[in-house]
Chain A
Amino acid sequence: MYLYLLKRLGMTIMVILIVMVFLGLLVQIVPGDPVVTLLGPRATPDLIASVRSQMDLDKPIYVQVARFIWNALHGNLGNDFWTGRSISQSIAEVLGHTVILSLTSLGLAVLLGVPLGVFSATHPNSWLDRFLAVVSISFITIPSYVAALLLLLLFSVHFHVFPAIGLGKVGDTGDYLRHLVLPSIALAITWVGYLARLVRTSLLEVLNTNYIRAAKSFGLRERIVFYKWALKNALIPTVTVLGVGLGSMMGGAMFVEVIFARPGMGTLIYNAINDRNYPTVRAGVLVVALLFILANLLADFINSWLDPRIQLTKSQG
């Protein structure tokens, strides 16, 4: 058990290091000279030279990468290229909004997806089950930006039910929540369909196992068997997927944030890309990747705690 966790942790640290090296090298693949690309053709040689040393680009590549990693490990992600502000600070300001959005969407997906899956599994092959199967597939295939645009069109532009953009008035919780409704639905839709299918499959699998049949044949009440053993075991794969889901929502949040003009990691990276603000892009991507990695790690730990068999199958790879 501990060996598995230790191995998993070591693997994670290695992956984080590789991610950092990759991001440290990212500026190197800018076609031509990154500083010239950044400043435009009319920059004076003096300015170019000073920016180059400011971005460490005048030093050997390994020094650049090592400095980037060293600073990042100390919480210093560098300064915004245009405004000179500390990037860590800009990120700290908006990170919460992205996390709230992702968690709300995840909660929504669980609240809708799990009951749908349970219903399908307890009524297998009924017409409603077949109908839900088609609905789930449709939900899975709708990209978040399409969902966001359609929701915006329907509820903000056409019916004026929900506000279209922004976070709402500062300090007004109700307003904040109203601004959260459409973005979180848009982000959740795919996962509602996905969870419904996943829960259906794994619940059907568990209901067919011998231990559930044995419990039933002992005469235990159906309801107890169902909730105490069947559902609990069936939800294990769901927990793993939720970790992945949380991570991928942080990435997918970009579309939703851009469409609804919500401050967050997505808009931060998006704006930085449009400004060719490479240091901010790099820092933003690093933070999102770290959150993604940690969410996956957390899911794996919870999972191996829920189901001790997992480490065996994993180590066989």
Chain B
Amino acid sequence: MEYVVKPTNRLTRFLDRIPVLGEILHRPLGVLGFTIVLLFVVVTIFAPLIAPYKDTKQDFSAIFQPASQNHLLGTDNLGRDLFSRIVYGSRIEMAAALPSVTIGLSIGLLLGLLAGYLGGWIDNVIVVLLDSIQAFPSLVLALAILAVLGPSLTNVIIVIGFALIPGYARVTRSQVKSVKNNDYIQAEYNLGASTGRIIVMHILPNIIAPLVILVSMDLPVVITFEAGLSFLGLGVRPPSPSWGVILSDGFKYIFNSPWPVMSAAFALILVTLGFTLFGETLRDVLDPRLSGTEGS
């Protein structure tokens, strides 16, 4: 894809669009996505105020309750309030998603810049490495590493972050490649600008938009990934209220009560849908040329 570059004002144009939100909120699906994401963020921040019970509070006189006024989503096999567990669990999802995307983004960005900017054999080596990481289905890669490292939130973050690296590296690399041969960058180089200056002042502003889009698309992926690993018992361990743990507890007692599985499934579907709608609208707003080219 030919990347048309307006050198001086790419960053300013991007910043001009910080009322990006305004444009997102012009679209119905954008409004829906933004509302859900906002709700999720509010819930993670104010979890103790929202949850009516402590997430680990057991009540053996009230196990497997269906939804009621006292328990909005019912209770689980230990009589714990499911609504409160879902609310507290959102914090775990956030605590897994943000650091792992940060890891993927920073290492991916670095590798992508190296590969794209330096080219040559370094480029080839990095590309083969990325290919090898992507040669594993990411779930299986995560399993292989967690199988030996052992389950914990930190390990899950490391593994998911690692699996995200190729996506960011590839986007960065291809953007850098398409930008770096432009005349204005040659000119800057001839004027004696340092590599660092060229990268920070001219190349980075060009790759911010695609990276922001990728981050917003990756957050829901990471959340389902974490919950999936925790469901298999390879992620966060019980009694921590990760949505995956709630699902796996609910699965054990699926014949006793549908509420644990249903509430965690509902939370997962709602949040991933919200983030995805938000991300897609963001992509349409930030970079209309990218829409519809995914998946190829």
Contact = CB atoms under 8 A, between A and B. Distances in A.
B148 A251 contact: no
A121 to B, nearest CB: 11
A228 interface: no
Contacts of A16: 135
B143 A146 contact: no
Contacts of B149: 29-31
Report the interface size class on chain A.
Answer: 35 or more
Contact of B132 (A15, A138, A202, A254): A15
Given A18-B128, A198-B295, A145 B135 contact: no
A15 B135 contact: yes
A281 B144 contact: yes
Given A11-B128, A18-B132, A140-B276, A153 B258 contact: yes
Contacts of A198: 295
A141 B137 contact: no
A189 to B, nearest CB: 11
A297 to B, nearest CB: 10
Contacts of A270: 232
B254 A146 contact: no
Nearest to A270: B232
Contacts of B280: 137
Contacts of A293: 135
Interface in A95-111: none
B269 A141 contact: yes
B296 A240 contact: yes
Given A146-B269, A241-B295, A31 B150 contact: yes
A304 interface: no
A278 interface: yes
Report the interface size class on chain B.
Answer: 35 or more
Interface stretch (A19-27, A53-61, A79-87, A211-219): A19-27
Contacts of A192: none
Nearest to A198: B295
B265 A23 contact: no
A73 to B, nearest CB: 17
Contacts of A289: 135-137, 140
Contacts of A142: 269, 272
B207 interface: no
A251 B132 contact: no
A188 interface: no
B265 A150 contact: yes
Given A14-B128, A251-B140, A292-B140, 15 more contacts: A11-B131, A31-B150, A141-B220, A142-B272, A143-B224, A143-B227, A149-B254, A149-B261, A150-B261, A157-B255, A198-B295, A251-B136, A255-B231, A281-B147, A282-B144
Interface of B: 29, 127-129, 131-132, 135-140, 143-150, 174, 177, 220, 224, 227-228, 231-234, 247, 250-251, 254-255, 258, 261-262, 265, 268-269, 272-273, 276-277, 280, 292-293, 295-296
14 contacts: A16-B135, A18-B129, A23-B144, A26-B145, A134-B29, A137-B277, A141-B269, A149-B254, A149-B261, A150-B265, A158-B258, A201-B293, A255-B228, A289-B135
